[in-house]
Amino acid sequence: MVYDEVLASRVRGRLESADLDAVEQRMFGSVCFLDRGNTVVGVSGDDLFVRVDPDDLGDAPAQPGARPVEFRGRTAGGGVYVAGGALDDEALEDWLPAACDATAGLPPK
């Protein structure tokens, strides 16, 4: 799967301006941005995977363009996918800090 390079570039620029020392890594046809080995966000196709704090996981899929992460017919915890079409600048500005905050509490890998 080819990821949306325009979306990846928008994410990259915002993470750099947020002073997050994110490491960019390509995996499974996607590009992920990691902090201390933990995925913060990832661009997969036209969608953005966003790490979500477990306390906010119930509310996150209700946001515009968001849906739970499903794997083999089961909902996986830890994040949501947000449709690229729903990621205007304002939405991206909301999702990225939330993902950074959710990742900040995780132990390094």
| Gap between the terminal Cα atoms of the chain | 26
The pLDDT value recorded for residue 52 is: 93
The pLDDT value recorded for residue 1 is: 63
Of the candidates 46, 29, 31, 50, the residue with the CA atom closest to the CA atom of residue 85: 46
pTM, two decimals, is 0.90
Q: What is the mean pLDDT of residues 53-80?
A: 88
pLDDT tens by residue, 8-28? 999 999 998 887 788 999 998
Structural domain 5-104, CATH architecture? Alpha-Beta Complex (3.90)
Segments making up each domain of the chain, as ranges: 5-104
* Contact in structure between 34 and 61 (CB atoms under 8 Å): no
